[in-house]
Amino acid sequence: MPELPEVEIVRQSLDKKIKQKKVKKIIVRNRNLRIKIPLNFTSTMKNQKIIKVDRFSKFIILHLSSGKFCLFHLGMSGTIHIISKKKKNLFSNSSFYNSPSLPKKHNHVEIIFDDIKVVYNDPRRFGFFQILNNSNFLKKRLAHFGPEPFQSQFNLNYVSSFLEKKKKNIKNFLLDQNFVSGIGNIYASEILFFCKINPNKKAYLINKKDLKKIILNSRRVLMNAIKKGGSTIRDFKNTSGKKGNFQKDFRVYDRYGLRCKRQNCKGIILKKVISNRSSFFCNLCQN
Q: Is 3 a catalytic residue?
A: yes
Determine which one of 11, 17, 55, 58 is catalytic: 58
Identify the burial level of 278 via C-beta atoms within 10 angstroms of its C-beta, where 0-12 means exposed, 13-18 middle and 19 or more buried.
middle
Q: Is 277 a catalytic residue?
A: yes
Q: Degrees (nearest 5) of the Cα angle 181, 6, 272?
A: 70
**In degrees rounded to 5, what are phi and psi of residue 121?**
-115, 135
**Residue 220 · residue 80 · CB < 8 Å:** no
Integer Cα distance of 1 and 234 in angstroms: 13
Q: Which of 83, 46, 38 is nearest to 64 (CA)?
A: 46
In the chain, what is the greatest distance between 2 CA atoms, to the nearest angstrom?
A: 61
Beta strands 69-73 and 79-84 are unpaired
Determine which one of 3, 8, 148, 190 is catalytic: 3
Local structure of 268: helix, strand or coil: strand
Q: Where are the strands (E) in the chain, listed by range?
A: 25-28, 50-56, 59-64, 69-73, 79-84, 107-112, 116-121, 128-132, 269-274, 277-282
**Residue 75 · residue 122 · CB < 8 Å:** yes
Integer Cα distance of 117 and 78 in angstroms: 16
**Residue 79 · residue 238 · CB < 8 Å:** no
Local structure of 48: helix, strand or coil: coil
Determine which one of 46, 168, 237, 277 is catalytic: 277
Determine which one of 2, 147, 149, 199 is catalytic: 2
Active-site residue list: 2-3, 58, 277
